[in-house]
Amino acid sequence: MDKILTTLYAPQAWFMALPPYLSYTVIGLIIMTLLGCAGFILARLGYKPLWALLLLVPTVNVIAVWVLAYRRFPRESL
């Protein structure tokens, strides 16, 4: 049983060994980078960058990406 658990959690072992405050900091930086990049891309496409917050909701993020992919961009209609 230990061999199975070691195999399953081996890629995350370094992250699980970190102190909690440091792991929360790493997760926060990853989320802020994701939202910042998504907001920048949305602003370049002509949408409000606040739509990037939809990426935090698990099922809604997939639907939002599909809707964004198939809608006409506001910059194209100018």
Lowest mean pLDDT among 4-13, 32-41, 47-56, 65-74: 4-13
**How far, in Å, CA of 73 to CA of 43, rounded?**
11
Residue 26, C-beta contacts closer than 8 angstroms, at least 6 positions apart:
15, 18
pTM, entire model: 0.71
pLDDT at residue number 46: 86
**Does residue 22 or residue 77 have the better pLDDT?**
22
In the structure encoding, which two tokens stand for residue 64, read together? 């939002």
Other residues' Cβ atoms within 10 Å of the Cβ of residue 52:
21
Q: What is the pLDDT of residues 30-52, one digit of tens each?
A: 999 999 999 999 999 888 999 99
Distance of CA 60 to the CA centre of its chain: 12
